Amino acid sequence: MRSLILRTTALGLLPTTLLFAAYLLWRGHHLPGGGFIAGLVVGAALVVHGLAFGGAATRARFSAWLTPAAPLGLAIALASGLPAVLAGRPYLTHFHGAVPVPGHGPVAVSTALVFDLGVFLVVVGVTAALLAALAEGDDR
């Protein structure tokens, strides 16, 4: 399935999909989206890349980013609950604030987003690990 059309399309599709995933992650708190969905979108993008270029090439290109993704995501998710403990509240109480962005107005940020980022990284890491393990030595 190493067709030229697929390869070109996949290469063009990849950055757009990643951007879309980031967008889904960002807006998850107010509109449909969130960490799980964004992570799965990135997983689908990896599948397309693998279909176009083969498992070995995909792994060679992305493994440096994706191997530590799952543990890193877990660590981030665990850490996002710690500011609450330091402030004397129960673990995983989320704090919400607003960061003023010039020319746009206040942008809402919160530790919930950090937690969602952790979830996102875990899902990306898990999908990538399973794909890499199954697609090894494969021509598809």
- In angstroms, the CA 53 to CA 4 distance is 10
- In angstroms, the CA 57 to CA 59 distance is 5
Which is closer to other proteins, CB of 18 or CB of 103?
Answer: 18
Q: 18: which residues sit within 8 A by CB, 6+ positions away?
A: 42, 45
Q: 3: which residues sit within 8 A by CB, 6+ positions away?
A: none
Stretch that binds other proteins, among 3-11, 12-20, 58-66, 117-125 (CB under 8 A): 117-125
Stretch that binds other proteins, among 4-12, 58-66, 99-107, 125-133 (CB under 8 A): 125-133
**Binding status of residue 115 toward other proteins by CB under 8 A:** yes
Coil, strand or helix at 40:
helix
**Binding status of residue 87 toward other proteins by CB under 8 A:** no
**Binding status of residue 78 toward other proteins by CB under 8 A:** yes
Residue 122: count other Cβ atoms within 10 Å of its Cβ: 22
Q: How far is the CB of 106 from other proteins (least distance, A)?
A: 12
- In angstroms, the CA 100 to CA 78 distance is 27
Stretch that binds other proteins, among 4-12, 57-65, 99-107, 128-136 (CB under 8 A): 128-136
* Interacting residue ranges for other proteins, rule: CB under 8 A: 28-37, 40-41, 43-44, 47, 70-71, 73-74, 77-78, 81, 91-92, 94, 96, 108, 110, 112, 115-116, 118-119, 122-123, 125-127, 129-138, 140
